[in-house]
Structure 1
Amino acid sequence: MRDETLVEWREWGEEAFAEARAQSKPLLLSLSASWCVACDEMDRTTYADPRLAGHLKESFVPVRVDVDRQPRARERYNMGGFPSTVFCTPEGEIITGAGYLSADGLRQAIDTVRETWDAKGTEAGRIPRALQNPDPPRGAVTAEIEAHFVEQVAEAFDGEFGGWGTDAKFPLPRTVEFAAKRDTERASRTLQAIQAHLYDTYAGGFYRYATNRNWAGEIHREKLTDENAALVRAFATGYLHTGEESYRDTARGTIEYLTTDLWTGDAFAGSQAGGDYYTLGPAEREEADPPAVDETVYADRNGLAANALFRFAGYTDDERARTYAERAIEHVTDTLVSDGVVAHFDGPDAESGLLLDGARVLLGLTAGTQATGEASYLDTAREIADALRARQADDGAFLDGPATGIGLLDRPLRPLDANIELANALIDLAALTGEASYRETAGETLEAFAGATERMGADVAEYGAVCARHVYDPLVIETPEAGSDLHRAAWRVADHEKVVVPSGRSDAVVVRGGERSEPAVTPDELLERASETRPESVLGE
């Protein structure tokens, strides 16, 4: 809890909802994050008003929700950003909600909700549409899906300033990766814009986003581990496809930030708060206290960070990146994984079995297997994948977590992004293990959303990339043991969607769609074999 607030916050949990039911009061949910500057501001101003604190105590059960520690609550009650201010019934149904509210704004909201509650009681609540009809529109996974996203990436691109969108500019690292293979010029222009406007050249790492189309407006300077990891991967991918050394150096600088400022000693911390500190010059920063770091080790963020660092190490032979990736993924598997079920973090209130945690730890383990050949990574990856598959819905999609819990948690969500990441990891796992069932599960998951493809935009272009991997088969390169010249050469093949399979063989073979190349015994031969093995894709490769 922040010291400035006068509100007597309850913790998110059954006790708060039970109190609301017993007293026939609505709840006020304050969705907040440790890295959120606007959340601090609302605590210092709105929630520091003693009269408002009294009104909340009298008429509501106020609950503080840490959105990093409670991701399922975040997805169901998010009002478009943080802070989110949500009034709901004791059953968790939403009465009304907003983002940041001034003291006057909250006062008006309190009066309105009181009137509504007095008039309608629990009937004032509603269930968001996304939770009313959760079944995704199924369809066939075809080559046209990749083609659709190639068109979307071109049409939505900002030709003047780079990136995608005409208002606020988010870096969209997965869209950059999709474009790096299929639209290299637009990917490069976006990477350059991100470098120029969102990269912290002093300490390394990336800020979250810019509020203006030209990237030069207000910068939200929070640094989140998962967003930085995704950008490490995007810049490493840009380096792989273009050879541009500044992309490599930017990724390396971000890894330096992650492994120093955000390193807990065991794994990666969750985030670092934003603020005016980042606008100071180098000398002034040395004299100032840096923003606070949330040292919680989250499974999903560490899985994604390990994936990014393993991949960077593969492309560049960076031993520091590989070592930290190993330390992080091994800490997560040692402390947060039990019988294939992944806990969100290490704590008594941590949820287990969340889709995003499982998918991203799986991504870290499959990348680690490719980078190091470590057999234990593959064993743990199988356990996690099998535990997740046991909870696959009949329509082929995966729920974001158990269909149980307080408030709206018992209403399932089928998050597209997390399903995409899981399908991607399962395709890797199938190639690494030779077990076709993982590939079949990935296909079922992709099919669950294919009927909505025409409504998808450039921001979810990763769906097109994973569908293409399923349709054409990923490029698979079987190599000698990790660290050999042929293994290192396989990582340098300019296709970031490939799978590198280190083994005990003495030569290397390139596999696509069941067709195996002639063996390669030198790195040059391997690169030649890979260039000859191309899918008939929308690009005519």
Structure 2
Amino acid sequence: MTDSADETHVEWREWGEDAFEAAERAGKPVLLALVTEWSEESHNMDLATYAEPRIAANINDGFIPIRVDADRNPHVRERYNMGGFPSTVFCTPEGEILTGATVLGIDGFREILDSVRRTWDQQGEKAGSLPRPLKEEPPRGKVTARIEEHMIEQLLGTFDDEFGGWGNDVKFPLPRTVEFALVRARDQATRTLDAIQTHLLDTYDGGFYRFSRNRNWGAARCEKLADENAAVVRALAHGYRYTGEESYRESAERGIEFLTTTLWTGDAFAASQGGDEEYFRFEPSERADADAPAVDETVFAGHNGLAIDALLRYYAYTDDETARQYARQARDTVTETLVEDGRVQRYPGADAPQGLLVDQARTLRGLVTSWSVLGEPGPAVEVAEWTLSTLQDEDGSVRDGPTGGAGLLDEPLYPLDTTVELADALLDLAALTGDEQYRAAAYDAVAAFAGAGERMGVEVAHYATVAARLDDFQVIEVGTEAGSDLHRAALRLADHEAVVVPMAQESRDLPADEARLVVDGEKQGVASTPEELEALLIA
């Protein structure tokens, strides 16, 4: 719950079976408010709309109001999000959706309240419906090279030649799209990185704003989220690896500074900082005397998994000890406090959701990168095994969490984005363990959506990345321990979609002082020095 909720006159209830049962007993529809700590609109709607006594009285009298923090409950968010925060959703006591909107002022709220009451009085439960993703099975198909080809066509067809980035409206950084483009359309990738660091980097406090409202990257939305900052840092680090452009390294460093100062709790990375645009428009001298936007200090396992991954990728290219130390501390905090027998808890607290795909996949991502870069796997195998045994169906589709709970949580949801994140991490795990079952599981997960490959746009280029890796799986096995000259060279020289496996001599037929390139299981050559490795990888 946000502090601003205390200033409303609405009698908010917590998400859970009790609230929906109360709606059933009372014969009333549910008003669900999905909010986030970082959304200024969420706070403003509390103060302007929900605090209006007559609006609140109408809600309390005719509805069962439930308030949900969307960051703490992503499984609820994915079923009820109306396209932004706050999301204002009207539901039946069974959880089916009547209608919804995002931000509503007093007049708009009065109108929708009246409309929902009329609909409910006339139709009752029959007026409810399931969101489209809950009504359709994933569009299964065969994973082929055409998926990557189609995505390259999408890059070329939607790139903004004038301002950089993709599309001609709102500009999101799309860091995974940048990474896809780095090895397929590098000019597009670098022009987009240039725009990101010019327009979305907070040059005073560090960190990256969420997106820009205009095609020319102007009018940035100023909230800063840990997971989104981590993704941008990683893309910049990869940009530096391919181009040697010092500004990309410097911008990534500014992102890391934000993560390790403003968002550092002492043990791990906090969730987000609010986007008070008045503050972020101040000059540096004015900011020094102003109160910075509030930080949500919740430690989310998935957010930290992405931050661990990003900092270690940066460390792999730069040997930056600060990045390594913070990544290790966050990793240890997450694994010691939020992981038990492979099941990941979203955040500390007895009521926190457990076993959500977003946290399982992103925690696994941080752990496999830790294994590759530091030689320290942590519970990577346990997290993968719990995820596959609990969330993957027999046909390979992956659910967003254990089924069950209030509202629409009883309905299985198969999300594309987090399925791809899991598959990507499983491919790394297959290389690191030498166990092909993880590659097979990754293929099955990606195949669940392959039937829609021709309909995908650049915003899901990560899907095409993983499809391409399945088709051309590159592994560099290094016989030496992590941190050796040969291992460090492999991390710097490898394509960022390849996997570097340290200490490979322990489980494979590889001399302790050599590195070997393996593509789709076929040995391509060996090297015993960084120079020989560079020649092998370039050949």
Deviates more, 1:118-127 or 1:334-343: 118-127
Deviates more, 1:397-406 or 1:4-13: 4-13
| Aligned residue in 2 for 1:526 | 533
Q: Secondary structure at the match of 2:526?
A: coil
CA contact under 8 A between 1:479 and 1:490: conserved in structure 2? no
1:476 Cα deviation (Å)?
2.5
1:517 Cα deviation (Å)?
4.0
1:14 Cα deviation (Å)?
1.8
Letter in 1 for 2:248: Y
Summarize the alignment of residues 15-34 of structure 1 with structure 2, pairs less than 5 Å apart.
15-34=18-37
Report Cα offsets for 1:470-517 as digits up to 9, x if no partner. 111124242411111111111111511111111152222222122324
| Aligned residue in 2 for 1:262 | 263
| Aligned residue in 1 for 2:517 | 510
CA contact under 8 A between 2:140 and 2:447: conserved in structure 1? yes
Matched, 1:439 2:446: no
Deviates more, 1:15-24 or 1:323-332: 15-24
Matched, 1:140 2:142: yes
| Aligned residue in 2 for 1:453 | 453
CA contact under 8 A between 2:494 and 2:537: conserved in structure 1? no
Report Cα offsets for 1:323-368 as digits up to 9, x if no partner. 1111111111111111111111111221111111011100000000
Report Cα offsets for 1:174-194 as digits up to 9, x if no partner. 000000111110000000111
Letter in 2 for 1:524: E
| Aligned residue in 2 for 1:373 | 375
Matched, 1:297 2:304: no
Matched, 1:386 2:389: no
TM-score of the aligned structures, taking structure 2 as reference length? 0.96
- Matched residues in 2 for 1:519 and 1:181: separation? 24
CA contact under 8 A between 1:477 and 1:498: conserved in structure 2? no
- Matched residues in 1 for 2:353 and 2:110: separation? 34
Matched, 1:421 2:421: yes
TM-score of the aligned structures, taking structure 1 as reference length? 0.96
Q: Secondary structure at the match of 1:405?
A: coil
Matched, 1:55 2:58: yes
Q: Secondary structure at the match of 1:452?
A: helix
- Matched residues in 1 for 2:162 and 2:153: separation? 18
Letter in 2 for 1:359: A
- Matched residues in 1 for 2:210 and 2:521: separation? 42
CA contact under 8 A between 1:475 and 1:497: conserved in structure 2? no
Summarize the alignment of residues 153-172 of structure 1 with structure 2, pairs less than 5 Å apart.
153-172=155-174
1:136 Cα deviation (Å)?
1.1
1:125 Cα deviation (Å)?
1.1
Q: Secondary structure at the match of 2:100?
A: strand
- Matched residues in 2 for 1:479 and 1:82: separation? 50
Deviates more, 1:68-77 or 1:497-506: 497-506
Q: Secondary structure at the match of 1:233?
A: helix
Q: Secondary structure at the match of 1:476?
A: strand
| Aligned residue in 1 for 2:508 | none
- Matched residues in 1 for 2:257 and 2:147: separation? 37
CA contact under 8 A between 1:240 and 1:494: conserved in structure 2? no
Letter in 2 for 1:420: V
Q: Secondary structure at the match of 1:101?
A: coil
| Aligned residue in 1 for 2:509 | none
| Percent identical | 57
Q: Secondary structure at the match of 1:64?
A: strand
Letter in 2 for 1:514: G
Q: Secondary structure at the match of 1:321?
A: helix
- Matched residues in 1 for 2:524 and 2:115: separation? 70
1:151 Cα deviation (Å)?
1.0
Deviates more, 1:323-332 or 1:388-397: 388-397
Report Cα offsets for 1:169-220 as digits up to 9, x if no partner. 111000000001111100000001111111101111000011111111x221
1:519 Cα deviation (Å)?
3.0
| Aligned residue in 2 for 1:536 | none
Letter in 1 for 2:330: A
- Matched residues in 2 for 1:510 and 1:319: separation? 28
| Aligned residue in 1 for 2:90 | 87
What is the RMSD of the two structures over their aligned residues, measured on CA atoms? 1.1
Letter in 1 for 2:530: P
- Matched residues in 2 for 1:45 and 1:459: separation? 34
| Aligned residue in 2 for 1:284 | 286
Deviates more, 1:21-30 or 1:518-527: 518-527
- Matched residues in 1 for 2:232 and 2:37: separation? 21
CA contact under 8 A between 2:15 and 2:406: conserved in structure 1? no
Letter in 1 for 2:388: R
- Matched residues in 2 for 1:340 and 1:528: separation? 40
Summarize the alignment of residues 99-118 of structure 1 with structure 2, pairs less than 5 Å apart.
99-118=102-121
1:371 Cα deviation (Å)?
1.0
Summarize the alignment of residues 297-376 of structure 1 with structure 2, pairs less than 5 Å apart.
297-374=299-376, 376=377
Summarize the alignment of residues 123-138 of structure 1 with structure 2, pairs less than 5 Å apart.
123-133=126-136, 135-138=137-140
- Matched residues in 2 for 1:498 and 1:26: separation? 51
Report Cα offsets for 1:38-92 as digits up to 9, x if no partner. 1111111011111111111110111111000110110111001011111111111
1:395 Cα deviation (Å)?
2.4
- Matched residues in 1 for 2:78 and 2:447: separation? 23
- Matched residues in 2 for 1:513 and 1:68: separation? 38
Q: Secondary structure at the match of 2:32?
A: strand
CA contact under 8 A between 1:21 and 1:90: conserved in structure 2? yes
In the alignment of these two chains, the number of paired residues is 527
Deviates more, 1:432-441 or 1:518-527: 518-527
- Matched residues in 2 for 1:466 and 1:478: separation? 23
- Matched residues in 2 for 1:200 and 1:370: separation? 31
1:446 Cα deviation (Å)?
1.2
| Aligned residue in 2 for 1:239 | 240
Q: Secondary structure at the match of 1:63?
A: strand
Structure 1 residues not aligned, in runs of 5+: 533-541
1:466 Cα deviation (Å)?
0.7
Letter in 2 for 1:51: R
CA contact under 8 A between 2:494 and 2:500: conserved in structure 1? no
- Matched residues in 1 for 2:368 and 2:182: separation? 22
- Matched residues in 1 for 2:486 and 2:396: separation? 38
Letter in 2 for 1:389: L
- Matched residues in 2 for 1:15 and 1:185: separation? 55
| Aligned residue in 2 for 1:119 | 122
- Matched residues in 1 for 2:420 and 2:230: separation? 17
Summarize the alignment of residues 443-482 of structure 1 with structure 2, pairs less than 5 Å apart.
443-482=443-482
